[in-house]
Structure 1
Amino acid sequence: MGSTADTYAVLKELLKGSGAEVLMPDSEGYEESIVRWSEHCIKKAHAVVKVSNADDISKTLKFVKEHKIPFVVKGGGHSTSGSSSIDDGLVIDLSKLRKVSVDTEAKTIKAEGGTIWEDVDIEAAKYGLATVGGTVNHTGVGGLTLGGGYGYLTGKYGLTIDNLLSVDIVLASGELVTASATSYPDLFWAIRGAGQNFGVATSFTFQAHPQPNPVYAGPLIFLPEKLPQIVHLANKFHTQNDGNQAISVAFSCPPPSNAPVILVQLFYNGPEEEAKLFYKDFLDLGPVANMASMMPYEKLNTLLNHAAGFDGRKQFGGGAFKLPLNPIFVQAIHGDFVDFVNAREQMGQSMMIFEIVPYEKMREAGNEEMAFSNRGDYYNVATIFKWFDPKLDDEVREFSRGLLSRASQAAGITPDEKVRSAEGVGIYGNYANTDAAATEIYGNNAKKLEELKHKYDPENLFSRGLRLVPKAKVVVN
């Protein structure tokens, strides 16, 4: 093989006239193209290919196989594992694929592979519709969907993948296929939870739901002294919601004062009067700030954007917890979080979030019905650490893992429960690191996924996400 420049000149010629762009380090727009949500995921790729259609992707995949070039796929660029960036190879960038179309008769939404949730929310709202999407609207539709997808509407309609009707996907072979319940059903099973291992999704078709009215949502901010009462009310919420509500309880030490606060994010899909009556106990508890109000649904997924900007280094982590929680336990976890964050510079925007999104609807599907294996009688707990000093990378990662392990085990999720398919694994794949074992994320589904990986990607071309090694061939003499 010749020089890097010569190699990618061949690719440029191959894609000529298609609308695709092949950017190299000296190209205009290259630096912008390698920006990621987390600064520690910014890597100097040899080339970034901004594809414009499925044929571009197919040709690029054949090219990287022929020239043995490592590659990644970039949608929204939100992964904190670095799975959408690379130093020594090529990025297939889907950012040109941003079209969203709505079928008002069928009540479906079709979103191209490079869309972000803002694209979907705004277009669907024009027709009084919505689907289950991410709570930060600059998150990529593809990444969230392929890993499962929780949102404010999960309590009513299940996960994003429960509302996924079909996926157009370019396989490792370069073939474009449509996976659905009736077309490539085994692939469709795998895509819903482990999709990043099987190809490049060029579009998603979702079931939409009527959402013509505004919702009541926003954060209440409390001083830490109110944490025991907040835990008590969260325990009460667990028994009283009907799927049209969701809350999150978060720890943070926001700048400029870096003083610890407790944030309670409210959501109520209904009129303001009903919402305020439902959340009366929280509202009467005495928040130092109340920013909850009525708003259009498409604004809902912007509420956390200010805390999820593109500056700084970031690390996702995930675990699970059951309600009721013990207030003493939560105070202890809060104390450890605050001590760690305040002992280090510029970490005040970090958060630990107990996500209390009703799960009865999502549990109507069993963990064996698709690759996703995190359905159970529990909720997700997440850490989102943010810092600026690269020297803290390893320290933050280890602390996050330890904190989440303590939170999960002390809150009732034991290692034995994690391997029980009926209960779920207790780790949301989109919060996991790529070094997690397949059984940690997929539980009893890992074996079937290995077999399907061998069927659809026997050379393990898509190897940069969660490690799902293809099952070895058995040679019979």
Structure 2
Amino acid sequence: MESLKLQGRILTSADGEDFEKALQRNSALSVLPAKYVVQPATYSDIPPVLAFATSQKPPLEIAVKCGGIHTSTWSSTNGGIVIDMTSLHAVNVSEDKQSVTVQGGAVWGNVYEECKKAGIDVVGSPLWFVGVSGFLLGGGYGPLSGERGLAVDNIISAKVILADGRIVQTSATEEPDLFWAIRGGGGRFGILAEVQLKAFPSVAPITSGVIVYPGTEIVNVLKLIKEWSATQSGKEKISISFARSGPQSQPSIMILPWVSEDHDGTRSATVLAPFKEGPVKPVFEKTHASPDMLAVSHGADASFASAPKRFSIRGAFVADFYEELILEVWDRWVKFTENPDVKASGVMWDLTKSDKICEVKSTDTAMPIRERNYWVGVQGRTNNPEADAAIKEFLSSTITFIREKNAALSGKDYGFWMNMSEGDEKPEDVYGANLPRLREVKTKYDPRNIFSKGVPILPL
């Protein structure tokens, strides 16, 4: 490996602390002992690494790391090579401010920093530390999705490094099959080296925060949310979080609002009035206006810093706000988190108005869910390794229950969500009817399955 003479760094266990630091991920469960960690300084550093990996007998597994936030081991490898893209994190705003070009190792905080200077916004993650590449490749639901659609719907073009070392430009007119596949098909086709995103005028000021209700009011709070959603526009959204809060760790319902274009506070006052002044009174509420997405994306820093580091997430979609389904999940979660080792575990329901998302056909991109939907994520957290198995079973059984209950209530099976999958899901349950075409694209661009991390897409 050392003979490749890369401009970037090659780390091994001999590099001690630097190597160990490079192996760390956002979740302690995502760490695996790589043989090499390559930190490319230029795109040209990557093809020789791919050639080296595939020339070994047996070939060395390749993992690609950007933000390292995913709770699976997709950005890690046991005995293989991690291509750590984090040195390639440049962000450039076009002169006309209509687009932003982002290197594949950037996190959304890098993007929001430049957008703040330019007075623009893009469809990105609500959290600054999420990697741009992984977020995009899995579909990308963001705070602006209610008005602008999914993040993948706002990709203009991309530069991709293929398994054979070629660096290709892809768009609707250049390598269109590849362009289709990377928009929701995950990282199974190549390394996303660079992406050009549509930009829009800033939606700030943005009001966000938290409104907390006691768990004893769950039925009334759900009725309140149902009524609120009837008049919801794409300029606002809420997330509903099940969490144990306060000194006694009591089950609570947290409303996490996001209200854009709140220039004088009147929009948020109107939008949030039912939650603050309605028949159900919160036990705590704190909302405030932020000047840009960068500030909003740092809003949860303190809570993440203190949260247990052993955690995993699974996610699915629901066709509507089914109170019956949500109440059953609530009962499951309350019972599970009575165990103090797993009390930091939670459930998040995201209510983004999906009209704009549904304007795109399910076959226009690899992202298959284009009917009315909300997403839900089930998260397990602990500091005790002995609780890992219980968390894994809870997440798997709960997300399967959500999927099956949604299908029974709606008549539509939405499967599981790529961005919150773990890799052991059946491919057809993640990619849906798009799986056959994804396999054709895989055969064309990566017939030897060099990029094997993630929910499987096997070449034909």
Q: Report the TM-score, using the length of structure 1 for normalisation.
A: 0.91
| 1:213/1:417 CA distance change after superposition, 3 Å | closer
Is the aligned partner of 1:15 residue 2:5?
Answer: yes
Match of 1:314 in 2: 311
2:448 to 448, 459, 469: 459
| Displacement after TM superposition at 1:80 (Å) | 1.1
1:126 to 98, 117, 125: 117
Q: Is the 8 A contact 2:319 2:371 kept in 1?
A: no
| 1:353/1:212 CA distance change after superposition, 3 Å | closer
SS at match of 2:13: coil
Is the aligned partner of 1:435 residue 2:435?
Answer: no
Number of residue pairs matched? 451
Distance in 1, matches of 2:349 and 2:408, equals: 14
Match of 1:296 in 2: 291
| Displacement after TM superposition at 1:403 (Å) | 1.6
Distance in 1, matches of 2:325 and 2:357, equals: 28
Q: How does 1:383-462 map to 2 (within 5 A)?
A: 383-411=378-406, 417-418=412-413, 425-462=414-451
Q: Is the 8 A contact 2:319 2:410 kept in 1?
A: no
1:113 to 97, 104, 109: 104
2:46 to 50, 54, 57: 57
SS at match of 1:95: helix
Distance in 1, matches of 2:44 and 2:210, equals: 45
Match of 1:422 in 2: none
SS at match of 1:342: coil
Amino acid at match of 1:133: G
| Displacement after TM superposition at 1:62 (Å) | 0.8
Match of 1:378 in 2: 373
Q: Is the 8 A contact 1:25 1:44 kept in 2?
A: no
Is the aligned partner of 1:341 residue 2:337?
Answer: yes
Q: Is the 8 A contact 2:65 2:83 kept in 1?
A: yes
1:24 to 12, 36, 50: 12
| Displacement after TM superposition at 1:12 (Å) | 2.2
| 1:431/1:243 CA distance change after superposition, 3 Å | same
Amino acid at match of 2:339: A
| Displacement after TM superposition at 1:275 (Å) | 1.2
Distance in 2, matches of 1:307 and 1:162, equals: 31
SS at match of 2:448: coil
1:166 to 157, 169, 178: 157
Is the aligned partner of 1:353 residue 2:348?
Answer: yes
Distance in 2, matches of 1:226 and 1:111, equals: 44
Match of 1:368 in 2: 363
1:98 to 89, 95, 106: 89
Of stretches 360-369 and 372-381 in structure 1, the one that deviates more from structure 2 is 372-381
Distance in 2, matches of 1:404 and 1:321, equals: 11
| Displacement after TM superposition at 1:411 (Å) | 4.3
Q: Is the 8 A contact 1:374 1:427 kept in 2?
A: no
SS at match of 1:279: helix
Distance in 1, matches of 2:210 and 2:25, equals: 27
Deviations, residues 9-28 of structure 1 (Å, cap 9, x unaligned)? xx223134x1x100111205
Amino acid at match of 1:105: D
Distance in 2, matches of 1:240 and 1:414, equals: 23
Of stretches 36-45 and 223-232 in structure 1, the one that deviates more from structure 2 is 223-232
Of all paired residues, the percent bearing the same amino acid is: 27
| 1:376/1:306 CA distance change after superposition, 3 Å | farther
Structure 2: runs of 5+ lacking an equivalent: none
Q: Is the 8 A contact 1:135 1:304 kept in 2?
A: no
Amino acid at match of 1:276: A
Amino acid at match of 1:43: L
| Displacement after TM superposition at 1:311 (Å) | 4.9
Distance in 1, matches of 2:130 and 2:164, equals: 28
SS at match of 1:243: coil
Deviations, residues 126-173 of structure 1 (Å, cap 9, x unaligned)? 111011111221010010001100011000000000111111110001
Match of 2:195 in 1: 204
CA RMSD of aligned residues (A): 1.8
Q: Is the 8 A contact 1:254 1:349 kept in 2?
A: no
SS at match of 1:291: strand
Match of 1:6 in 2: none
Q: Is the 8 A contact 1:321 1:413 kept in 2?
A: no
| 1:413/1:30 CA distance change after superposition, 3 Å | farther
